[in-house]
Amino acid sequence: MVVEVLRLGHRGERDKRISTHVALTSRALGASKILFTWEDKHVKESTNKIVENWGGDFKFDVVESWKKYVKEFKKRGIVIHLTMYGESINERINVIKEHLKNGENILIIIGGEKVPNETYELADYNISIGNQPHSEVAALAIFLDRLFEGKTLYKDYPDGKIKIIPSKKGKKAILNEQNYPQLIKKL
């Protein structure tokens, strides 16, 4: 079973930071891959750097045709489009969790400014995280957290170079290997 995220609707330079956040949120909250419809060197490098330092095998990929990708994905799983126009997550999350329990793959589509109308038709579920406009990062985070019931927050990455020790105060981190002074400086 895999959970992937497809990011549509990039708006050039001004979306670089939020697109990076979309990728990092996908990884941190349990998805195994992020797919973009364009090659953005900055977003790709930032994502890969996090994986290199913090572990796991999260993948960054670019699709030539998002529609083709979605249609192919539907042969091996379900597609969920996050949109403020959709059905409430509160009403639909149990049905979606059943798909997950049955071992089905899940592709989550999130937009930028405006997604193509076809997205609503191609998706098996159009899901809203409330019916107010907000952010793709917030919508994705809430959706993944509800899907995995908070469990991915405890995910351990044995191959990560850095591991945080949750503390009441201050910053505690250990290094999996010796001699990463450049990382210690950043913590």
Residue 175 annotated as part of some ligand binding site: no
State which residue, 130 or 150, has the beta carbon closest to ligand SAM.
Answer: 130
For the bound state, the minimum distance from the C-beta of residue 141 to ligand SAM, rounded and expressed in Å, comes to: 11
* Closer CB to ligand SAM, 51 or 128, in the complex: 128
Q: 8 vs 162, which CB is nearer to ligand SAM?
A: 8
Closest distance to ligand SAM from the beta carbon of 88 (Å): 9
Q: Which of 107, 134, 132, 135 is nearest to 122 (CA)?
A: 107
Does 136 carry a binding-site annotation?
yes
Paired strand residues for 61: 35
Helices 89-101, 136-147: axis angle to 10 degrees equals 50
Q: How far is the CB of 82 from ligand SAM (least distance, A)?
A: 4
111 in a known ligand binding site = yes
108: exposed, middle or buried (C-beta count within 10 Å: 0-12, 13-18, 19+)?
buried
Q: Residue 144: which of 96, 72, 98, 95 has the closest Cα?
A: 96
**Residue numbers at the binding site for ligand SAM (CB under 6 A):** 82-85, 110-112, 115, 128-130, 132-136, 139
